[in-house]
Amino acid sequence: MFDGLKDKLSGFRKDVEENADVDGSDERDDADADESDAASSADAPAADSDADGAGDSVVTPETDAGDDAGDADPSTFQRAKAFATGRIIIEEEDLEEPLWDLEMALLESDVEMSVAEQILDTVRETMLGESRKQVDTTGELVESALHDALLDVIAVGQFDFEERIAEAEKPVTIVFTGVNGVGKTTSIAKLSEWLDERGYSSVLANGDTYRAGANEQIAEHADRLDRELIAHDQGGDPAAVIYDGVEYAEANDVDVVLGDTAGRLHTSDDLMAQLEKIDRVVDPDMTLFVDEAVAGQDAVNRAKEFNDAAEIDGAILTKADADSSGGAAISVAYVTGKPILFLGTGQGYDDITLFDPEELVESLLGEE
């Protein structure tokens, strides 16, 4: 999962380390040179002892270093001092090229432009700023800067889904939006199973009355999982189907109603009108947007579009198992202001995991 992006992030770490090392080894060379100058100066009097006399020709390393520092510009002096005391100083010029490469890498990985810029700003600030963390090596500094920058954008709006379900008055109604073919129906079935494993019963309601075959598609999952399915004929009113789902849940003590909706209607006005009606009639506790991680930038754009049409509470990203770029996983929360709640990680009903931003960041930065 997200292997392409992992490689690119570790490329940035190496870039900065190399740049900083070049500078570091310059300093080291200077320091070595000073020492050998000093050593040869110290040796010299012995060889020339009958000329000027030892006292005059001895140049101590301290004096030599002091002179060098006096000649150098202040930042070089600062850097030399930092090097001597083991602290890390990264200068803007050290970062210029690696940051450019990082931006390209993020964009190539389908990270949305504003998200990539935000990540770069945080990395730059963390690495150059006064408030720089105390770390031992350049590698650690890069790691902590990238960690903070990624977490900042990925964890936007994050909340505890399980807690929300536990605390909500039952039945909890969840409506799913998103285009067809991305794994919306499968995700509803997976979530039904996920809830079952945590002791919550659920009923499926097929609010996608628009598409031919939609009832059969969701009925197959309901049969396999042995769940009740509420469905009306094609062309029926989606709000009425989900309403019936809520009634069924209330009458039968079912904890959660999982309501599908049509993927996309003719215009976003139709879509909005339909979702608005569902809002009015059943007042869902949550609206979750489903899309596939592999769609990258398209998934990010759709998330924004759906959120604008009818505000979502969170997202499910499917097919993360097949996604190497990671761009959608990084961008969706920042762009919509709503968190990713689950990742779909395969075709089985168990292949769904709660989204954990910290875990994702650690895996993106992990050495493998």
CB of 180 or CB of 201, closer to ligand GDP: 180
Is residue 255 close enough to count as binding ligand GDP by CB under 6 A? Answer: no
Strands 352-354 and 314-318: unpaired
Q: How far is the CB of 281 from ligand GDP (least distance, A)?
A: 23
Which stretch in 13-21, 175-183, 295-303, 333-341 sits in contact with ligand GDP by CB under 6 A?
175-183
**CA-to-CA distance for 53 and 243, rounded, in angstroms?**
103
Strands 202-207 and 229-230: parallel
CB of 83 or CB of 161, closer to ligand GDP: 161
**CA-to-CA distance for 279 and 284, rounded, in angstroms?**
6
Is residue 318 close enough to count as binding ligand GDP by CB under 6 A? Answer: yes
Q: Alpha carbon of 354 to those of 104, 315, 321, 344, 359: distances in Å?
A: 30, 11, 14, 9, 10
**Range 348-367, binding ligand GDP (CB under 6 A):** 351
Q: Alpha carbon of 258 to those of 248, 269, 289: distances in Å?
A: 12, 24, 13
Which stretch in 70-78, 231-239, 340-348, 360-368 sits in contact with ligand GDP by CB under 6 A?
340-348
Number of H helices, E strands in the chain: 15, 8
Q: Alpha carbon of 103 to those of 112, 151, 170, 221: distances in Å?
A: 11, 17, 46, 42
Binding ligand GDP by CB under 6 A: which of 185, 261, 274, 325?
185
CB of 183 or CB of 314, closer to ligand GDP: 183
Q: Specify the amino acid at residue 22.
A: V
Instruction: Find the residue with minimal CB distance to ligand GDP.
Output: 344
CB of 36 or CB of 347, closer to ligand GDP: 347
Note the maximum CA span of the chain: 112
**CA-to-CA distance for 358 and 89, rounded, in angstroms?**
27
Is residue 184 close enough to count as binding ligand GDP by CB under 6 A? Answer: yes
Q: How far is the CB of 6 from ligand GDP (least distance, A)?
A: 19
Binding ligand GDP by CB under 6 A: which of 347, 350, 362, 366?
347
Is residue 325 close enough to count as binding ligand GDP by CB under 6 A? Answer: no
HSE-CB of 292 using CA atoms within 13 angstroms:
17
Binding ligand GDP by CB under 6 A: which of 37, 120, 346, 353?
346
Is residue 186 close enough to count as binding ligand GDP by CB under 6 A? Answer: yes
Q: Specify the amino acid at residue 363.
A: S
Which stretch in 75-83, 179-187, 237-245, 298-306 sits in contact with ligand GDP by CB under 6 A?
179-187
The DSSP secondary-structure symbol of 169 reads P
Q: How far is the CB of 119 from ligand GDP (least distance, A)?
A: 26
Q: Which of 56, 58, 70, 61 is nearest to 36 (CA)?
A: 61
Is residue 224 close enough to count as binding ligand GDP by CB under 6 A? Answer: no
CB of 89 or CB of 204, closer to ligand GDP: 204
Tokens 């000093």 correspond to 38
Which stretch in 46-54, 67-75, 177-185, 251-259 sits in contact with ligand GDP by CB under 6 A?
177-185
The DSSP secondary-structure symbol of 182 reads S
Binding ligand GDP by CB under 6 A: which of 227, 302, 319, 338?
319
Give the SS3 label for residue 212: coil
Is residue 328 close enough to count as binding ligand GDP by CB under 6 A? Answer: no
**Range 283-302, binding ligand GDP (CB under 6 A):** none
Q: Which residues bind ligand GDP (CB under 6 A)?
A: 180-186, 318-319, 321-322, 344-347, 351
